[in-house]
Structure 1
Amino acid sequence: MIFKDLLNNKLNNKFIFFDGAMGTMLQKEGLKVGELPETLNITNSETIKRIHKQYIDAGADIIITNTFGANELKYSTSEYSVEDVITAGVNNAREVADDKLVALDIGPTGQIMEPSGTLSFETAYELFKKQVIIGERAGADVILIETMSDLYEAKAAILAAKENSSLPVLCTMTFQEDGRTLMGTDPKTMVFVLEGLGVDALGVNCSLGPKELMPIVEEILKYASIPVMVQPNAGLPRYDGEKTVYDIKAGEFAEYIKIMAQKGVRIFGGCCGTDPEFINKSSAALKGISPLKTEIKGFTAITSGTDTVILDDKVRFIGERINPTGKKHYKQELKAKSVNYIQSEAVKQKEEGAAVIDLNVGLPEIDEVEMITKAVKAIQKVVQIPISIDSSNPEAIEAGARIYNGKPVINSVNGKEETMKKIFPIVKKYGGCVIALTIDENGIPSSAEGRFKIAEKIVNEAKKYRIDKKDIIVDCLALTASAQQKEVLETVKSIELVKERLGVKTTLGVSNVSYGMPRREILNRAFLSIALYAGLNLPIINGADEEMKDTIDAFNVLSNTDKEGKDYISKYSDRKNEANNEKKPSVDNKENNKELKQIIIDGMEEDAEASTEELLKIKEPLEIVNNYIIPALDYVGEQYEEKEIFLPQLIQSAETVKKSFSVIKKNMLAKGEDNIDKGKIVLATVKGDIHDIGKNIVKVLLENYGFKVIDLGKDVPIEKVVEAVKEHNIKLVGLSALMTTTVISMKKTIEALRENNLQCKVFVGGAVLNEEYAEMIGADFYAKDARESVRIAEKIFVE
Structure 2
Amino acid sequence: MTFKTLLRDRFNNKFAFFDGAMGTMLQKEGLKVGELPETLNITNPEIIKKVHKQYIDAGSDIVITNTFGANELKYSSSEYSIEQVITAGVNIAREAAGNKLVALDIGPTGLIMEPTGTLSFEAAYELFKKQVIIGEKAGADLILIETMSDLYEVKAAVLAAKENSSLPVFCTMTFQQDGRTLMGTDPKTMVFVLEGLGVDALGVNCSLGPKELMPIIDEILLYASIPVMVQPNAGLPRYDGEKTVYDIEPNEFAKYIRIMAQKGVQIFGGCCGTNPEFIKESLKAVEGLLPLERESKNFTAICSGTETIILDGKINLVGERINPTGKKRYKEELKEEGVSYIQAEAVKQKEEGAAIIGLNVGLPEIDERKMMIKAVKAIQKVVQLPIDIDSPNPEVLEAGARVYNGRPIINSVNGKKEIMKKVFPIVKKYGGCVIALTIDENGIPDTAEGRLEIAEKIVNEARNYGIDKKDIIIDCLALTVSAQQKEVLETVKAIKLVKEKLGVKTVLGVSNISYGMPRRDILNRTFLALALQAGLDLPIINSADEEMKATIHAFEALANIDKEGKNYINKYSAKGLETKSEKQIKAISGESTKDLKRIIVDGMEEEAVLSTEELLKTKDPMEIVNGYIIPALDYVGEQYDEKEIFLPQLIQSAETVKKSFEVIKENMIKSGKNNIEKGKIVLATVKGDIHDIGKNIVKVLLENYGFKVIDLGKDVPIEKVVEAVKEDNIKLVGLSALMTTTVINMKKTIEALRENNLDCKVFVGGAVLNEEYAQMIGADFYARDARESVRIAEKIFIE
TM-score, structure 1 as length reference: 0.98
Report the equivalent of 2:199.
199
Deviations 1:581-632 (A, max 9, x none): 5554457699x88110000000000111110011011110001000100000
Residue of structure 2 equivalent to 1:291:
291
Q: How far apart are 1:754 and its partner, in Å?
A: 1.9
Per the alignment, residue 398 of structure 2 pairs with 398
Q: Counterparts of 1:576 and 1:35 in 2: how far apart (Å)?
A: 60
Q: Could you tell me whether the CA contact under 8 Å between 2:185 and 2:305 is conserved in 1?
A: yes
Q: Does 1:335 align with 2:341?
A: no
Can you list the C-alpha shifts for 1:547-575, whole angstroms capped at 9, x where unaligned?
Answer: 10111111111111111222223333443
Equivalent position of 1:109 in the other structure? 109
Moved more, 749-758 or 86-95: 749-758
Q: Which runs of 5+ in 2 are unaligned?
A: none
Q: Displacement, 1:730?
A: 0.8
Which region of structure 1 is more displaced relative to structure 2, 723-732 or 153-162? 723-732
Which residue of the partner structure matches residue 537 of structure 2? 537
Q: What's 1:68 paired with?
A: 68
Moved over 6 A (4+): 587-590
Any residues of structure 2 matched to 1:584-595 within 5 Å, and which? 584-585=585-586, 594-595=594-595
- Equivalent in the alignment of 2:442: 442
Give the match for residue 182 of structure 1.
182
Report if aligned partners of 2:718, 2:749 keep a CA contact under 8 Å in 1. Answer: yes
Deviates more, 1:483-492 or 1:5-14: 5-14
Report matched runs for 1:517-666 at 5 Å: 517-576=517-576, 580=580, 581-585=582-586, 594-666=594-666
Q: Structure 1 11/495 Cα, relative in aligned 2: closer, same or farther at 3 Å?
A: farther
Does 2:190 match 1:152? Answer: no
| Alignment-derived partner of residue 504 in structure 2 | 504
Q: Which residue in the other structure is 2:370 paired with?
A: 370
Conserved? CA contact 1:17–1:267, under 8 Å: yes
C-alpha spacing 1:585/1:750, structure 2 compared with 1 (3 Å)? farther
Equivalent residues of 2:2, 2:200 under 8 A apart:
no
Structure 2 match to 1:673:
673
Q: For residues 126 and 730 of structure 2, what CA distance do their matches in structure 1 show?
A: 40
User: Could you tell me which amino acid in structure 2 is paired with residue 118 of structure 1?
Assistant: T
Q: Secondary structure at the match of 2:539?
A: strand
CA offsets, 1:514-538, max 9 Å, x none?
A: 1111000101111111111111001
Is the Cα contact below 8 Å between 1:104 and 1:143 reproduced in 2?
yes
Q: What per-residue deviation string (whole Å, max 9, x for no partner) do you get for residues 7-66 of structure 1? A: 234555211100000000011111111111110111111010000000001111001001
Equivalent residue, structure 2, for 1:166: 166
Shift of 1:745: 2.2
Give the 3-state SS of the residue equivalent to 2:669 in structure 1: helix
Matched, 1:788 2:788: yes
| Cα deviation, residue 117, structure 1 | 0.3
Q: Alpha-carbon deviation of 1:316?
A: 1.1
Kindly provide the amino acid, as one letter, of the partner of residue 206 in structure 1.
C
Alpha-carbon separation, structure 1, partners of 2:284 and 2:222 = 26
Q: 1:747 maps to what in 2?
A: 747
- State the distance in 2 between where 1:103 and 1:252 align: 27
| Structure 2 equivalent of residue 37 of structure 1 | 37
CA contact (8 A) 2:34 2:690 kept: no
Q: What pairs up with 1:313-392 in 2 under 5 angstroms?
A: 313-392=313-392
Q: Contact 1:105–1:146 at 8 Å: present in 2 too?
A: yes
Map residues 675-690 of structure 1 onto 2, 5 A cutoff.
675-690=675-690
Q: Deviations over 1:299-354 (max 9, x none)?
A: 00000000000001111110000000111111011001111110000001000111
Partner residue, 1:279: 279
Structure 1 residues 370 and 589: alpha-carbon distance in aligned structure 2, compared to 1, 3 A threshold: farther
Cα-to-partner distance string for 1:733-773 (whole Å, 9 max, x where unaligned): 11111222222222222222222222211111111211112
Where structure 1 has 5 or more consecutive residues not aligned to the other structure, the ranges are none
SS at match of 1:322: coil
Q: Whole-Å Cα distance in 2 between the matches of residues 22 and 768 of structure 1?
A: 17
CA drift of 1:172 comes to 0.3
Residue pair 1:585, 1:598 contacting (<8 A) in 2 also = no
Q: Kindly, what percent of the aligned residue pairs are identical?
A: 81
Q: Which amino acid is the alignment partner of residue 263 of structure 1?
A: K
Deviation at residue 2 of structure 1 after TM alignment: 6.0
Instruction: Output aligned runs, 1:244-283, within 5 Å.
Output: 244-283=244-283
Aligned-partner Cα distance in 2 for 1:709–1:589: 33
1:766 aligns with 2:766: yes
Which residue does 1:452 correspond to in 2? 452
Aligned residue for 2:226? 226
The Cα of 1:646 is off from its aligned counterpart by 0.6
Query: Taking structure 2 as the reference length, what is the TM-score of the superposition?
Result: 0.98
Structure 2 counterpart of 1:289, one-letter code = L
| 2:571–2:579 contact (8 Å) kept in structure 1 | no
Of 722-731 and 158-167, deviating more is 722-731
Give distance in 2, aligned partners of 1:329 and 1:583.
28
Residue 723 of structure 1 and its aligned partner are, at CA, apart by 1.1
| Distance in 1 between residues matched to 2:665 and 2:93, nearest whole Å | 56
- Which amino acid in structure 2 is aligned with residue 734 of structure 1? G
1:451-470 mapped onto 2 (5 Å cutoff): 451-470=451-470
Secondary structure, counterpart of 2:320 in structure 1 = strand
User: Does residue 416 of structure 1 match 2:416?
Assistant: yes
Helix, strand or coil for the counterpart of 1:632? helix
Contact 2:7 2:13 in 1 (8 A): no
Q: Match for 1:133: what amino acid? A: I
Shift of 1:75: 0.5
Distance 1:529 1:672 in 2: 63
Contact 1:58 1:277 in 2 (8 A): yes
Native 8 Å contact 1:17 1:60 kept in 2: yes
Distance 1:116 1:652 in 2: 6
Q: Which amino acid aligns with 1:38?
A: E
Distance 1:325 1:582 in 2: 32
Does 2:88 match 1:88?
A: yes
1:661 alignment partner AA: F
The separation in 2 between residues aligned to 1:713 and 1:83, in whole angstroms, is 27
The RMSD of aligned alpha carbons is 1.3
For the 8 Å contact 2:543–2:549, the answer to whether it is kept is yes
Shift of residue 576, structure 1, vs aligned partner: 4.5
Residue identity in the other structure for 2:207 = S
Matched residue, 2:486: 486
Aligned counterparts of 1:597 and 1:572: Cα–Cα separation in 2: 28
1:219-259: CA deviations, max 9, x gaps? 00000000000000011111111111000111100001111
**In 2, distance between residues paired with 1:727 and 1:529?**
71
Secondary structure at the aligned position of 1:205 is classed as: strand
CA distance, structure 2, for counterparts of residue 343 and residue 365 of structure 1: 22
Residue in structure 2 matched with residue 304 of structure 1 by the alignment: 304
AA in 2 matched with 1:351: E
> How far off its partner does 1:4 sit?
3.1
CA distance in 2 between counterparts of 1:570 and 1:15 reads 49
Q: How far has the Cα of 1:638 moved from its partner?
A: 0.4
8 A Cα contact 1:472 1:504, kept in partner: yes
1:325 partner letter: T
